[in-house]
Structure 1
Amino acid sequence: MKAILTLQHCRSVETIRVTSRPETPLGADMVLIEKIADYIVQEQTRTLPPRTIHHAKRAVIDWFAAMYPGAVQEPNPMLRAALLDSGDPQHATIFPTGDHSTVKTAAFLNGASAHTSEFDDIFRDGGLHPGCATIAAALAVAQKHKRSGDALLRSVIAGYEVSSRISAAMGRDHYRYWHTTATIATFGAAAATAVLLGLNRDQTAHALATSATLAAGLQQAFRSDGMSKPLHAGHAAETGAMAAIAAGKGVTGALDVLEGPAGMGAAMSGTADWDKATSGLGDTYNIEMITFKNHGCCGHTFAAIDGVLAVMNAEQMIASDIADIAIASYGPAVSITDRADPQTPQEGKFSMQYVVAHAVHYGSVRIEAFAAERMRDPAIRAMLPHIQVSLDPQIDAQFPSRRAAHVSITTRDGRTFSHYQPTRKGDPDLPLSDNELNAKFIELTTPILGSISTNALLEKLWQLETIEVASILASAVIRRDSETGNHLPN
């Protein structure tokens, strides 16, 4: 029986409620996807804790912060040129240009933009970027169906909970060859869309099942140079939304596609622990345990960056004092980011040597770190051969639940300073504060929207549970001249 959404328009962060017509309970022999779908539907009737709502708003704010700089970087202008058609239905907004297209195209383009700048959020225990696909799909669907901000937040929470738990269940073995954001974020997009469409339990289960069989995305896409990595997030957003929309029209999937003998776990992991997919589901919220990035590069480099800066600050060290740096960390930090001679921005974002050298010389790793002129900086290039990266078995044993690094800096006068960095700034145990998140949003958004629209959008996003999704769009796109259609200056 199809759930009937009656969303109360809350004026307080205290509650977000959705009521639905009850269904006949399923038996104890539910397969895994049915259990997850049952949670998604039950979630529509729960009273959410204020802290969970607050963390959902943080996730949406961070999504916009990551999306705006990504939207103007390659390959996203190319993707808009390739995929937008003036004859498309005008259902959903493409950021930041204000173009419109179908839900699927908007989800794809906005999802790709949100994953390009390498500032998008992380679920540490699953190696997943949950927001880029989940929120891209949710915004597109919410806009088409004129949903409220509280409905959007509820859908985002459901998407994060489902995708984060499946990513943890698939385990480290999945991350050997597969890009988790490509393969698992599709479940977040499907769950969010199912909530916004009011799908019942059976429809939601089939949406998830179809999402599973369409999941794809290989790590070689970012272990070598190329532009296709952001498309992983776009594909996940589009696929999840499409699967849920299709399920609402009666399309079915194989409900044992996760744990079946030829299912996702068997094909893409081999060590999947499906108890993790439902452990705590509905009782605790992983959206409260999200990492918000403090550097604009691969997250596997963050502990090393933080550790090197900690030593430099403690010892009042400057770049010219340093002769050599040794970094020991966990497996993917070595196999993915040990690149001593990056030539392109994409390679630079995934080069431990480059981002650490940049942090040494400039004190941070932000958008400008990957400008062509900066990547040719002679001082940075000269330091690259003097940064060594190796595996620390003890640190590796803690991955993915802890992302640590051991750094040793040898100075030109022969002294050595060592430091163990147990976590990353932005991780749940060392989080960005609301003020730090606001500063990140303003830094990354203002160059695209201008200060007036940036501040207006930020204010609305903090009030998201009290407004309509449509009301944020005027502040969320680049202003245009009403007569010529040209973009106005910021």
Structure 2
Amino acid sequence: MLATVSSSPHFVAPAVLAVSDTNPSLTERLAKHLCRPVPKNVQDRARLHLLDWLGCVAGARRSDVAAVVRAAEPDVLTRAAFLGNVLEMDDVHRAAILHPGPVVWPAALSAAREAEAPFAAMLDGGVRGYEAVIAIGCTLDARHYALWHNSSTAGGFGSAAAAGSIFGLDTGSLVAAFGNIGSIAGGLWHMRHAPVMTKQLHVAQAAASGLWIARLARHGFTGSRGILEGAQGFYTAMTERPDPLALDEGWRLHQVSFKPWAACRHSHPAIDAALELKARGALHGPVSLETYADAIAFCDRPEPRTVIEAKFSLQHSIAVVALRGEPRPEDYEPDAIADPELAAFRAAVQVAEAPDITARYPAHFGARLTAGGETVELADTRGDPERPLPVEGVLNKARSLIVWGGLPEREADRAIALALEGDSVADIVVMLEDWT
């Protein structure tokens, strides 16, 4: 049965199933799925993602966002929640088109601090948070992503799952938490049209709301079991035709990509291809880039004016590779944006959609780059599961970000030891207090 909401001729309900009184709702299925035990190898993988997030937080210490939240927010984990996405180097799930880490880890650490939970329970919460945010994110369609920031709208399900796991919520209480987080989900992409800080607010709000709502659920606060598929629910309001909720035996944490460069993930296939052309000595103008439609919609910016616009500029990233090599955080700062040589190279980059690459998206983020008489085509980019970043690469990334953030090298050693070998949530919170 299709959900119906209004007899108005102006309303067209998406094709979602009505809530059944006899069959489990989608959030009931998800809550049951999350109750599985987390294997040791998945916990170990979670430690790497925790370290990656810590590096991103440290790297953003000198940003304008950091200055604001340092003055405005008294809680260390709230401050950290605002910083994990600033550099655009946070981890990403391609099919869900979202960043799990900066939403899940602040909520997991906050819940563990509050409940005085052991480190292993915090890691389990992190894994379950990743699973929930990705599971919901993978159901969201192109209509949703055109208007809504998936890390924000789906993100609250991840933070609620992480905190709920650490608080020991039973399935009924977790379903109630999902009902409430879905009811207040939001995060419009309009902020992309101005040089504002709202994207970081989206991430921090999703993390904080999930924690808050899981805390309420812990004490009996109720919420709708049919918030996803209900007649006036999440899918009806925010999608045209959502994909089915797929719940597999494994844990989706292993599907998450690490981002090696300080730019929007949509630009990474172009960066990767540009690095290959540069290694062949062929990366000189004119340059022709073909890629998928969303990469162009978000990152076709031949004349970036601000740091965030540069991070969302295909042309700028390719120019950086051509003239400077592997992109570093400083290559997206004002001095680099104003560099006349980079500006001239940006003007030589032509961008177009390739329907065949779009057809493989979002399962694969690809690009086809032609310059100097040669072409490189990549179906996947560095850091994806098909082309994984080795453990040493994750460690080196964390080190470079921590130093970029103005901290001494010993803080990188501290973060690596606490994240990969430690067993104290309190020690990580103290380290973040020192940093922020």
TM-score when normalising by structure 1: 0.82
Alpha-carbon displacement from aligned partner over 1:91-116 (angstroms, at most 9, x marks no partner): xx51xxxxxxxxxxx34x32220011
Alpha-carbon displacement from aligned partner over 1:347-372 (angstroms, at most 9, x marks no partner): 11111111111121111222111222
Name which structure has the greater RCO, CA cutoff 8 Å, separation 6+: 2
2:14 is matched with which residue? Answer: none
1:49 is matched with which residue? Answer: 39
Q: Does 1:442 align with 2:412?
A: no
1:67 to 36, 57, 73: 57
Q: Does 1:274 align with 2:244?
A: yes
Deviation, 1:476, is 4.0
Alpha-carbon displacement from aligned partner over 1:88-147 (angstroms, at most 9, x marks no partner): xxxxx51xxxxxxxxxxx34x322200111010001111010110110111112122222
What are the equivalent positions in structure 2 for 1:68-87 lying under 5 Å apart? 68-84=58-74
Give secondary structure in 2 for the equivalent of 1:175: helix
Q: Does 1:265 align with 2:235?
A: yes
The 8 Å contact of residues 259 and 274 in structure 1, kept in 2 or not, is answered as no
Alpha-carbon displacement from aligned partner over 1:458-486 (angstroms, at most 9, x marks no partner): 1121114xx1211334444437xxxxxxx
2:25 to 20, 25, 31: 31
Inter-CA distance 50–250: structure 2 relative to 1 (3 Å threshold): closer
RMSD: 1.7
Q: Does 1:285 align with 2:251?
A: yes
1:469 to 418, 425, 429: 425
Alpha-carbon distance in 2 for matches of 1:125, 1:51: 23
2:95 is matched with which residue? Answer: 125
Structure 2 residue identity aligned to 1:49: P
The 8 Å contact of residues 138 and 245 in structure 2, kept in 1 or not, is answered as no
Give secondary structure in 2 for the equivalent of 1:275: coil
Name the stretch that deviates more: 31-40 or 325-334: 31-40
The 8 Å contact of residues 121 and 290 in structure 1, kept in 2 or not, is answered as yes
1:316 is matched with which residue? Answer: 281
The 8 Å contact of residues 180 and 223 in structure 2, kept in 1 or not, is answered as yes
2:359 to 393, 397, 412: 397
Alpha-carbon displacement from aligned partner over 1:397-445 (angstroms, at most 9, x marks no partner): 11100000011114xxxxx211111111011111111000000011111
Please list every run of 5 or more consecutive structure 1 residues that lacks an aligned counterpart in the other structure: 1-26, 85-92, 95-105, 411-415, 480-486
Alpha-carbon distance in 2 for matches of 1:451, 1:408: 39
Alpha-carbon distance in 1 for matches of 2:208, 2:52: 20
1:154 is matched with which residue? Answer: 124
Structure 2 residue identity aligned to 1:38: K
2:181 is matched with which residue? Answer: 211
Deviation, 1:28, is 6.3
The 8 Å contact of residues 402 and 411 in structure 2, kept in 1 or not, is answered as no
Alpha-carbon displacement from aligned partner over 1:169-195 (angstroms, at most 9, x marks no partner): 123332111110011111110000001
Alpha-carbon distance in 1 for matches of 2:419, 2:262: 22
Alpha-carbon distance in 1 for matches of 2:194, 2:379: 29
2:85 is matched with which residue? Answer: 115
2:337 is matched with which residue? Answer: 375
The 8 Å contact of residues 141 and 239 in structure 2, kept in 1 or not, is answered as yes
The 8 Å contact of residues 179 and 227 in structure 2, kept in 1 or not, is answered as yes
Give secondary structure in 2 for the equivalent of 1:426: coil
Alpha-carbon distance in 2 for matches of 1:74, 1:207: 33
The 8 Å contact of residues 454 and 475 in structure 1, kept in 2 or not, is answered as no
Alpha-carbon displacement from aligned partner over 1:196-248 (angstroms, at most 9, x marks no partner): 11111111111111111111111222244322111110010011111111111
Name the stretch that deviates more: 216-225 or 386-395: 216-225
The 8 Å contact of residues 449 and 477 in structure 1, kept in 2 or not, is answered as no
Alpha-carbon distance in 2 for matches of 1:474, 1:167: 32
The 8 Å contact of residues 329 and 405 in structure 1, kept in 2 or not, is answered as yes
Structure 2 residue identity aligned to 1:65: G
Structure 2 residue identity aligned to 1:159: G
1:453 is matched with which residue? Answer: 411
The 8 Å contact of residues 457 and 476 in structure 1, kept in 2 or not, is answered as no
TM-score when normalising by structure 2: 0.91
Alpha-carbon distance in 1 for matches of 2:217, 2:39: 30
Alpha-carbon distance in 2 for matches of 1:380, 1:308: 14
After TM superposition, where is structure 1 displaced by more than 6 Å over at least 4 residues in a row? none
Structure 1 residue identity aligned to 2:272: D
Determine what percentage of the aligned residue pairs are the same residue.
Answer: 26
Alpha-carbon distance in 2 for matches of 1:291, 1:403: 11
The 8 Å contact of residues 56 and 156 in structure 1, kept in 2 or not, is answered as yes
2:302 is matched with which residue? Answer: 340
- Corresponding pairs, count: 415
What are the equivalent positions in structure 2 for 1:162-241 lying under 5 Å apart? 162-241=132-211
The 8 Å contact of residues 206 and 254 in structure 1, kept in 2 or not, is answered as yes
Alpha-carbon displacement from aligned partner over 1:241-295 (angstroms, at most 9, x marks no partner): 111111112221121110112211111112112332xx21xx1111011110011
Give secondary structure in 2 for the equivalent of 1:193: helix
Structure 1 residue identity aligned to 2:426: A
Give secondary structure in 2 for the equivalent of 1:478: helix
Name the stretch that deviates more: 224-233 or 432-441: 224-233
Inter-CA distance 476–238: structure 2 relative to 1 (3 Å threshold): closer
The 8 Å contact of residues 135 and 156 in structure 1, kept in 2 or not, is answered as yes
Alpha-carbon distance in 2 for matches of 1:275, 1:442: 37
The 8 Å contact of residues 278 and 321 in structure 2, kept in 1 or not, is answered as no
Structure 2 residue identity aligned to 1:316: G
Give secondary structure in 1 for the equivalent of 2:288: strand
Alpha-carbon distance in 2 for matches of 1:246, 1:168: 27
Alpha-carbon distance in 2 for matches of 1:275, 1:159: 16
Alpha-carbon distance in 2 for matches of 1:347, 1:227: 12
The 8 Å contact of residues 453 and 476 in structure 1, kept in 2 or not, is answered as no
Inter-CA distance 171–67: structure 2 relative to 1 (3 Å threshold): same
1:3 is matched with which residue? Answer: none
